[in-house]
Structure 1
Amino acid sequence: RNLPEAVQLCQLMDRAGRKLAAGTQRRFMSGYRRARQMLGRLGKLHLAQVHYQFNLGPSLTWHGDRAAGGGALIELGYHMFDLAIWLLGLPETLYAIAGTGQRAAAREDLPVYDSDDTAVAVLRYPGKAATTVTVTRCFSPVDEGLRLYGQAGTLSAGPNQCVLRDRDGNVLDSFGEDEPLAAVFSRMIDSFARAAAEDAPRYECSGWESLPAMAAVDAAYLSDQTGQPESPGAMLANYNVTSQDYMKCTPTEELPP
């Protein structure tokens, strides 16, 4: 539900000699994986946009309970923060606004809930590059994706597709396939099962590697309260988590140069 719980769980699993993976399934989606491969062709990055929306409807159950881990930022935003960090690294600061977008219409009975259902965050990177993350659980249609704007053009991606264009909009490269979601989860589970069977010291989506996204979620909630930019790096430092800690299980080929 928050960063201290996540850090404690990672430490507990380490002491027990067990492996821990986070369900960050977008890292296993073909469109986003291809986008990561094409990213270097954009040159210097200026702007990125990441979004995720759907309408959960009135049956919120635990989703409407902040204490149970409900909320647009922690449920949807976590995955979008993880996607942005996987592609671009940990932001210096972020500024966020979270609130309630679902309002009862005339004669409409909606449940009472205390969790956020709509949020936006602006992530600042070195060199004044910025990323926006927009999430909501109360507006249709179901949609998610990212768009990156670089010196050489744009890169747009979703779960199953990716398109690279030059600055004039001409397609330079593209990828697309109709892959069922079950195949994505199968690939994610197989990856972790293989790491456990082989006792691999490094593997994708370890619990430690999930901590930067969790720090971004906590920083976003804090920013919504303070009205000021907050630092995910400072949140990690509060719990003595360094970059060496959260990247210690990251596969060598995925480490930054």
Structure 2
Amino acid sequence: MEKPKSQKPAKMSLVASAAAGKPARAKPAARKKPASRSRKIPYTPEEIREIFRRFSVQRPEPKGELEHVNPFTLVVAVALSAQATDAGVNKATRALFAVADTPEKMLALGEDRVRDYIKTIGLYRNKAKNVIALSQKLVDEFGGEVPQTEKELVTLPGVGRKTANVVMSMAFGVPTLAVDTHVFRIGNRLKIAPGKTPDEVEAAFLRIIPEDYLFHAHHWLILHGRYCCKARKPECERCVIADICKSPEKTVDVAAPLVELPTQIV
């Protein structure tokens, strides 16, 4: 008698669910996360939660440092901040935004005058051209309003994935994670979210950040990298997570006290 063929159990598909924000804030639009291989990290889930808990105590309501008055000026400011400091961008845009805080006003100002306002910023000629092109596209295709989805935002001249994530988070309350040079450095230096590209680091962080800490995680990581875990010389002696950190570059081996810092540093 012929033996029945054994049935192999069906493989279950893994579905990556987008991290939901707090009820009071907008939920992120469904989108594909950047492709990235999962890498083993030297932190337990409890240690990761403790890291973000300490960040939340240190800066309960972190704020972005780019000055803006509405979603449009935020898009422009973030686009201008590429290869420039936030302080330098703010210095240039204060006067610019005082006279042009809408796409229509920016177009009326014209590329030459925009260039004069931002000439202290690196790559100002190309950036002035992008600001005008960005403003024109907003007027022509979006009724002068800044779109709220990544798919639409990245169609704007001078706007990439990082800029889109910053705008969605700061302007529309969507819990995203924009990977700039500071976030990229921390992910790899601490071995907490390693990756060879910003997209890989973003995906790695999104896999491990506790859902209830996701909304502010972007700013916590940026501010930590900017003022404590610095590129050239990390200030481990004043780091709030020094005793948890697994970085081979760490300069202290003892538990660090919780350093009180202002929520926003300008």
With the shorter chain as reference, the TM-score category is: under 0.3
Q: TM-score, normalised by structure 2?
A: 0.24
Larger Rg over CA atoms: 2
